[in-house]
Amino acid sequence: MNERVPFPEQVVATPEVVERFGDLHPPFDRQAAVPEANRCLYCFDAPCTTACPTHIDVPSFIKKIASGNLSGSARTILDANILGASCSRACPVEVLCEGACVMHRYNKQPIQIARLQRFAMDALHESGAPLPFEPGPETGLAVALIGAGPASLACAAELRRRGIRADLYDARPLPGGLNTYGVAEYKLPLVESLREIEMLSQLGVEFHFETKVDAAGLAELERTHDAVFLGIGLGAIHQLGVAGEELAGVTNALDLIAGYKSGALTTVPERVVVVGAGNTAIDAAIASVRLGASEVHILYRRGQEQMSAFTFEYQHAKDEGVKFLWHVQPTGIRGDGVVKGLELTRVAGTEDGSIVPEKDSAFVLEADLIVLSIGQATHANFLSGSSSSGSSSAFGKIQLERGRIVIDRATGQTSQPKFFAGGDCTNGGREVVDAVADGKRAGIGIAGWLGVQHGKG
């Protein structure tokens, strides 16, 4: 067990990627962090803490930076959010903690909470100190966690701190899910995600990589464990369903991002078209710019006001030179073996929310690479158990709603008591910090359901 290679050492940084995807928000140095920390008012029942899905005690960890208690600061962060380093980089703080800062109402810049949080976490990692928690006394209980993304990792941490065995199963060769493979590199470098999970492994989480859990496998895990946590995220990215989608040069946003982060992809062709206007689409479009494309378009069938990307992400994409085409719908892909262009029709929204094509508005946008980012399917089929060998497992009856697993928000418990769930598979796709919060609540929920109430180590 101890002979394994630490996660960060299992990847090799690609020089092109390192150079092209430098920090979007450079780290603080001490000379900047301490005055910024002292600017914090130390609000009572602080709005930033309430706005954080994991409820990090923001004023406390900032106070500790101000006083020079950096290890205490890191512990305060990790106690609420075991992936505090990733979240300090990946969180859309503009709509969370920093967005809630009372300084906005005083015509002042909000406290730079994310950069302070990263400062504390970096200091912990650089100090070489271990994770400031220990596993609880072993209870003999065991929980299987499917997927090694933020939700499962957070859940596993809570379980281990209460002495419950946590067996994590993931289809990929490395842990972290979207943290490792799906967040833009200039926000969260792959190696940083792994560095954090490496620390977490000190709690004794058992990882099982490159292990696909199918219905039969799940039934087996249900039998051999005291509870099962589903942190399975979302499935494949949707297809357009138009002719030519099979051509070389059609890919999806997650593959593109995972590709360049892992070093498998170091360049893209001249003209890139990204279909969809969510935060992932923005990440893919900016990545295309940085990977060498000279012309990058984002297409969306609705208007700017309906896009799911945050306003600051949209602004960032524009700043990087991404062009936006609103109210257009792809109708076909042209090419001869490889992609040459995308057939588009202008559309108009109607009062009932549907979209109707405008007459004679078809045109072709030339492209060498088409990146689809139009939402992801769910794992509903996998859970329905229909493909399993007629097992009588409970998960076949887990209640779903629009493909999402229905849970009790406070505990993460599904309609089948032995099954808990959290993260994207329950909320349809939100931020890392939401997955961490779900996983944390589920970990506490599972422990409570299993009758383990004692305090955390």
Partner 1 sequence: MAKDRPTLASTFCGIECMNPFWLASAPPTNCGEQIMRAFDAGWGGAVWKTIGEPITNVSSRYSSIDWEGRRMMGFNNIELISDRPIEVNLQEIAEVKRRYPKHVVIASLMVESKRESWHEIVQRAEDAGADGLELNFGCPHGMSERGMGSAVGQVPEYCEQITGWVKEKARTPVIVKLTPNISDIRVAARAAKQGGADALSAINTINSITGIDLDTFQPNPNVDGKSSHGGYCGPAVKPIALNMVQQIQADATSALPLSGIGGIGSWRDAAEFILLGCSTVQVCTAAMHYGYRIVEDMQDGLLNWMAEKGFATIEDFRGLSLPNVHEWKQLNLNYQIVARIHEDLCIGCQLCYTACWDGAHQCIHLDRTSPAPDTTRTPKMVEAESARRISTTPIPKLDSGTSGRTNAITPLERIPRVDEHHCVGCNLCSLVCPVENCITMERIDKDLPFESWEERVAKGLVATGTGEVMSTNT
Spatial separation of the C-alpha atoms in residues 78 and 85, rounded to whole Å: 9
Q: Are residues 366 and 233 in contact, defined by beta-carbon separation less than 8 angstroms?
A: no
Q: What is the DSSP letter of 230?
A: E
Spatial separation of the C-alpha atoms in residues 256 and 277, rounded to whole Å: 16
Q: Does 103 sit near partner 1 (CB under 8 A)?
A: yes
**129, 310, 334, 340: which one contacts partner 1 (CB under 8 A)?**
310
The residue whose two tokens read 């067990």 is: 1
Query: Which residues within the stretch 230-269 sit at the binding site for partner 1 (CB under 8 A)?
Result: none
Q: What is the DSSP letter of 324?
A: E
Spatial separation of the C-alpha atoms in residues 390 and 384, rounded to whole Å: 11
Q: Is the dihedral of CA 130, 136, 139, 143 positive or negative?
A: negative
**16, 34, 139, 320: which one contacts partner 1 (CB under 8 A)?**
34
Q: Does 72 sit near partner 1 (CB under 8 A)?
A: no
**66, 74, 328, 407: which one contacts partner 1 (CB under 8 A)?**
66
Pick between residue 34 and residue 247 the one whose CB is nearest to partner 1.
34
Pick between residue 90 and residue 383 the one whose CB is nearest to partner 1.
90
**92, 136, 189, 445: which one contacts partner 1 (CB under 8 A)?**
92
Neighbours of 423 (CB within 10 A): 34
Q: Does 123 sit near partner 1 (CB under 8 A)?
A: no
Minimum distance of partner 1 from residue 374's CB (angstroms)? 13
Tokens of 429: 């796709």
Q: Which residues are CB-contacts of 113 (< 8 A; sequence separation ≥ 6)?
A: 48, 58, 62, 93, 97, 98, 101
Q: Does 105 sit near partner 1 (CB under 8 A)?
A: yes
Q: Does 325 sit near partner 1 (CB under 8 A)?
A: no
Q: Does 455 sit near partner 1 (CB under 8 A)?
A: no
Q: Does 45 sit near partner 1 (CB under 8 A)?
A: yes
Q: Does 433 sit near partner 1 (CB under 8 A)?
A: yes
Q: Does 226 sit near partner 1 (CB under 8 A)?
A: no
Cα 131 from chain centroid (whole Å): 22
Q: Strand 404-405 vs strand 400-401: parallel, antiparallel, or unpaired?
A: antiparallel
Q: Provide the total of helices (H) and of strands (E) in the chain, helices listed first.
A: 18, 16
Q: Does 129 sit near partner 1 (CB under 8 A)?
A: no
Minimum distance of partner 1 from residue 166's CB (angstroms)? 23
**425, 434, 443, 444: which one contacts partner 1 (CB under 8 A)?**
434
Q: Does 172 sit near partner 1 (CB under 8 A)?
A: no
Minimum distance of partner 1 from residue 161's CB (angstroms)? 18
Spatial separation of the C-alpha atoms in residues 405 and 413, rounded to whole Å: 10
Binding mask 385-424 for partner 1 (x = CB under 8 A): ------------------------xx--------------
Spatial separation of the C-alpha atoms in residues 443 and 152, rounded to whole Å: 9
Minimum distance of partner 1 from residue 261's CB (angstroms)? 22
Spatial separation of the C-alpha atoms in residues 367 and 293, rounded to whole Å: 11
Q: Of all helices (H) and strands (E), which one includes residue 242?
A: none
The residue whose two tokens read 């799940």 is: 218
Pick between residue 393 and residue 427 the one whose CB is nearest to partner 1.
427
**106, 209, 312, 363: which one contacts partner 1 (CB under 8 A)?**
106
**125, 187, 430, 456: which one contacts partner 1 (CB under 8 A)?**
430
Q: Does 377 sit near partner 1 (CB under 8 A)?
A: no
The residue whose two tokens read 């070489």 is: 128
Q: Does 53 sit near partner 1 (CB under 8 A)?
A: yes
Q: Does 307 sit near partner 1 (CB under 8 A)?
A: yes
Tokens of 108: 């002042």
Minimum distance of partner 1 from residue 243's CB (angstroms)? 28
Q: Does 49 sit near partner 1 (CB under 8 A)?
A: yes
Q: Does 104 sit near partner 1 (CB under 8 A)?
A: yes
Neighbours of 315 (CB within 10 A): 12
One DSSP character per residue, 102-157 reads GGGGGTSPPP-HHHHHHHHHHHHHHHTPPPS--PPPP-S-EEEEE--SHHHHHHHH
**235, 263, 292, 428: which one contacts partner 1 (CB under 8 A)?**
428
**38, 224, 239, 267: which one contacts partner 1 (CB under 8 A)?**
38
Pick between residue 60 and residue 361 the one whose CB is nearest to partner 1.
60
Q: What is the DSSP letter of 298?
A: E
Residues forming the site for partner 1 (CB under 8 A) = 34-35, 38, 41-47, 49-53, 55, 66, 92, 95-96, 99-106, 278, 306-308, 310, 409-410, 427-428, 430-431, 433-434, 437, 441
